[in-house]
Amino acid sequence: MKYKRFHIEKYKALVNSDLTVISKPVPIIGVNESGKSSALEAIAHFDLRNDNFITGKGWKFLNRYKPEDNEFCVSADIEITQSELEEIINKHIPVDEPPAEQPAAETPPEQPAENPETQPQPEAPKENFDDLRSIITSANTIKIARHFNSRDDTKTYSINGITRDEVQSVIKDIIEKLPRLYYFDNFLENPLPDTIPFSDNYISGQTDILENEQQAMIEGAFSSIEISLRDFINTKDEDTRATWVDRVNDNVTKRVIADWQKMNFQAGKLDISNFSDIEIEFKLSEDKKAIQIKIKEQFKNKDGKTYPPITMGLSERSLGFRWFFNFSMRKCFAAVHEQEFIYLFDEPGSYLHNSAQTVLLDAIINLAEQHPVIYSTHCEFLLDPDKININDIRVVQKEEHSIKLIPLSNASTKKHEGALSTLNNALKMRIPLETVMNKKVIVTEGITDFYFWKHLIDVVFLPGSGAGNNRYLISIAIGSSKKYIALFDGDEAGNNAIDQYKKHFGEPESQNWKSYLNSDEKTVRLEDLLSDADKLRLQQISGQEDIKQAITGLFFAKKHKEFWEGIDSATKANVQKSISMIATHLSITNTGLRHGFTV
The DSSP annotation for 258-269 comes to: HHHHHHHS-TTT
* Alpha-carbon torsion angle 364, 369, 372, 373, nearest 10: 10
Give SS3 for 431: coil
d(C-alpha 445, C-alpha 464), whole Å: 5
Show the beta-strand stretches assigned E in 393-537: 394-398, 403-407, 440-444, 460-463, 483-488, 513-515
Instruction: Tell me the helix, strand and coil percentages in the chain, rounded to 5.
Output: 40, 20, 40
**Regions of the chain where pLDDT drops below 50:** 96, 122-126, 265-274, 413-414, 417, 429
d(C-alpha 597, C-alpha 456), whole Å: 8
- CA 506, distance to chain mean position in Å, is 45
d(C-alpha 549, C-alpha 559), whole Å: 14
For Cα atoms 512, 515, 521, give the angle at the middle one, nearest 5 degrees.
115
Question: What is the number of helices (H) and of strands (E) in the chain?
Answer: 20, 19
Taking the whole predicted model, whether its pTM rises above 0.75 is answered as no
Give the per-residue pLDDT at 267.
38
Answer whether 488's CB lies under 8 Å from 445's CB: yes
d(C-alpha 584, C-alpha 109), whole Å: 115
pLDDT (tens digit per residue) in 53-111 = 888 888 888 877 677 778 899 999 999 988 898 888 888 876 545 555 555 555 555 55
Give residues with Cβ within 8 angstroms of 274, minimum separation 6: 300, 302
Give the per-residue pLDDT at 166.
84
Beta-strand pair 460-463/440-444 = parallel
Give the per-residue pLDDT at 93.
73
Give the per-residue pLDDT at 524.
95
For Cα atoms 230, 233, 237, give the angle at the middle one, nearest 5 degrees.
120
Give SS3 for 345: strand
CA distances, 204 to each of 14, 74, 125, 200, 221 (Å): 46, 40, 47, 6, 20
